[in-house]
Structure 1
Amino acid sequence: MEHKIIKSERGITHYWINRNLDKNARCIVFTHGLTANHMMFEKQVEYFSKEYTIITWDVPLHGESRPYINFSYENTAIELKSILDAENIKKVILVGMSMGGYPSQEFAIQYADRVSAFIALDTTPFGLSYYSVLDRWWLKQVELMAKCIPDKMLRNSMAKAVSKTRYAYDMMLKMLNPLSKTDIVEQMGIAYGSVFDRKESVHFNFPVLILLGEYDKTGKVKQYCEAWSKKDGYPLHIIKGASHFSNADNYDDVNKEISDFICGL
């Protein structure tokens, strides 16, 4: 993967690209979850690089894309467009994991003509209609609760909560390692605080696949995914033996699901 950057008045965004030699190869953009970084898709990069152009990136405020001012999902979509423009890539397949589903959805709203499909990986939909007042209140408390937990305990509990396998657990800790506790808490506060900026529900006219870990107990992700699938008719497939970090817990099944979905486009 070639490491590159794009600059805006808000900060520098880092991304990695593996360009397939076939000029007609599709491009997949993988967007990581909260407090994580581009390494989250290690097993997907290995698998899909043979047939596709692959882009991973550190979402603004995460990984190496720090510092960053005026974070919003609208701005993350603008940075992603700048990456694609710089690489002269006209159309992409989006894969958004957990928080990474929000920059993906925002990009798909702003630049729908540049999206071929969206794989929602253990993530949730935009729109206040899915979230009760109590749900929204609890999300706003995450930052405060995280502040009260000792540093090492916070990291271990976060890694344990999203994983069922040692590989997923160790990878989550590895991604958290460069961050201070202040960084982690800041990311939680800003990311969760921005999720309801776009209040309306959105239906996408391109194909969407929802993937959900069998043991995903992060918040109410399971309930939101089920409601999303029912309301919009998007297929919902369960990843066996996986928790929230399903693309690390059971990367073989996730890779197959994504591959089959893309081949069926």
Structure 2
Amino acid sequence: MLEKIITSPRGTVSYWIARHQDPKAICLVFTHGLTANHRMFDHQVASFRKHYTVISWDLPLHGASRPYTDFSFHHAAADLDAILNQEKIPAAVLIGQSLGGYACQQYALDFPDKVLAFVGVDTSPFGPSYYSRSDRFWVRQVEWLSRCYPHDKLVTAIAKGATHTKRGFDNMMAMLAPYGKAELCRIMGTAYTSFLRENCDTAFDFPVLLTLGEYDRFGKVPQYNWAWTAKTGYPLKIIPGAGHNANVDNPVVFNAVVEDFLDSHHLV
């Protein structure tokens, strides 16, 4: 993978690209979840680069894409569009895990003609009707509640809560390692506040696949996904033996599910 950057007044955003030798190959863009980084999708990049151009990136506020000011999902979508423009990629398949799924949905709202398909990985839907007043209240408390934990216990709790396997746990711990406690809490508070502010109704015309780890117990993510598929008819595939970071916990099954989805929509 070739590491590259784009810049804006808000900061520098890092991304990694592996171009397929076929210039007409479809591009897959992988967007990680909260407090993680692009290494979340190492297993997917290694597999899908054989047939696709692949991009993974560090969301603003995360990994190599920090420091970063004035975070919003609109700005993250603009940054992703700058990446695709820089690489002269007219449209892409978006694959987003958890918070990364929010960024993908925002990109689809802002640049609908540039999305070929969306794969949600243990993420949650845009749309105010999915979230109760209680849901919104507790999301607002994330930052200060996180500050109540010692740093080592906070990091371990996040990693355990997001994963079901040792592979997943070790991957998440490695991604959390660069963050001090104050920064970690601030990232969570900023991201969730932005979601509450920007959350809006969506209607997508492109193919959508939802995936959910069998043992995902992260907040109300399972309930949101079942409500999402019931309301929209988007297919929901359960990834066995996996938690919230399902693509890391069980990459073999996850990759096969995504491959089947892409094949079924002739996205090859």
After TM superposition, the score normalised by the length of structure 2 is 0.98
User: 1:101 and 1:74 mapped to 2: Cα distance?
Assistant: 13
Q: C-alpha displacement at 1:245, in angstroms?
A: 0.7
Q: C-alpha displacement at 1:198, in angstroms?
A: 2.8
Q: C-alpha displacement at 1:133, in angstroms?
A: 0.4
Deviation track 1:157-210 (CA, whole Å, cap 9, x = no partner) reads 111111111110000000001111111101100001111223432121100000
Q: Which amino acid aligns with 1:200?
A: C
| Counterpart for residue 79 of structure 2 | 79
User: 1:8 and 1:198 mapped to 2: Cα distance?
Assistant: 21
| Counterpart for residue 250 of structure 1 | 250
Q: For structure 2, list consecutive stretches of 5 or more residues without a partner in the other structure.
A: none
| Counterpart for residue 222 of structure 2 | 222
| Counterpart for residue 54 of structure 1 | 54
SS at 1:74 equivalent: helix
User: 2:208 and 2:167 mapped to 1: Cα distance?
Assistant: 28
| Counterpart for residue 119 of structure 1 | 119
**How many residues get paired?**
265
| Counterpart for residue 188 of structure 2 | 188
Deviation track 1:74-126 (CA, whole Å, cap 9, x = no partner) reads 00000000000000000100000000001100001111101000001100011
| Counterpart for residue 128 of structure 2 | 128
Q: For structure 1, list consecutive stretches of 5 or more residues without a partner in the other structure.
A: none
Q: C-alpha displacement at 1:127, in angstroms?
A: 1.4
User: 1:259 and 1:68 mapped to 2: Cα distance?
Assistant: 34
Q: Which amino acid aligns with 1:141?
A: Q
Equivalences for residues 35-114 of structure 1 within 5 A: 35-114=35-114
After TM superposition, the score normalised by the length of structure 1 is 0.99
| Counterpart for residue 148 of structure 1 | 148
SS at 1:45 equivalent: helix
Q: Is the CA contact 1:126–1:196 (under 8 Å) kept in the aligned structure 2?
A: no
Q: Which amino acid aligns with 1:133?
A: R
Q: C-alpha displacement at 1:24, in angstroms?
A: 1.4
Q: Is the CA contact 1:239–1:246 (under 8 Å) kept in the aligned structure 2?
A: yes
SS at 2:260 equivalent: helix
User: 1:99 and 1:38 mapped to 2: Cα distance?
Assistant: 13
Say yes or no: does 1:206 pair with 2:202.
no
